[in-house]
Amino acid sequence: RKEVEQDPGPFNVPEGATVAFNCTYSNSASQSFFWYRQDCRKEPKLLMSVYSSGNEDGRFTAQLNRASQYISLLIRDSKLSDSATYLCAVNGRGRTDSWGKFQFGAGTQVVVTP
């Protein structure tokens, strides 16, 4: 089983709609969680950190469910510019891993259509 798993999609979303997807992780000692956005052939860019209490940044909401070991990302009022691949990243700092040493999911592709 992979340490971090995501539904590859694609999620085809009409402009203005809401889309949500999850990322599961296997290491229960994982301490930090992030969502990154990656455009085709570009480097990943941090979208948001995921806190235990959940957090919201504009149209984006991230949640953490430690009991079920997954994080989620919800995008409201989708824009065409939201089309990208969304990578979840998990840092297993509790296992003496260095900060910044991430395990990434393979990414969920989101395609927002007019």
> Which of 22, 27, 72, 103 contacts other proteins by CB under 8 A?
103
Using CA atoms, how far apart are residues 64 and 46, in angstroms rounded to an integer? 17
Q: Could you say whether residue 114 binds other proteins (CB under 8 A)?
A: no
According to the binding rule CB under 8 A, does residue 66 interact with other proteins?
no
Q: Is 35 an interacting residue with respect to other proteins (CB under 8 A)?
A: no
Nearer Cβ to other proteins, position 42 or 66?
42
Taking the complex as a whole, the smallest distance from the CB of residue 16 to other proteins amounts, in Å, to 28
Q: Using omega within 30 degrees of 0 as the cis cutoff, is the peptide bond preceding 8 cis?
A: no
> Contact between 96 and other proteins (CB under 8 A)?
no
Could you give the CA distance from residue 78 to residue 112 in angstroms, rounded to a whole number?
Answer: 7
Asked if 62 touches other proteins (CB under 8 A), the answer is: no
At residue 67, what is the residue type?
Answer: A
**CA count, 13 A, side-chain hemisphere, 56:** 4
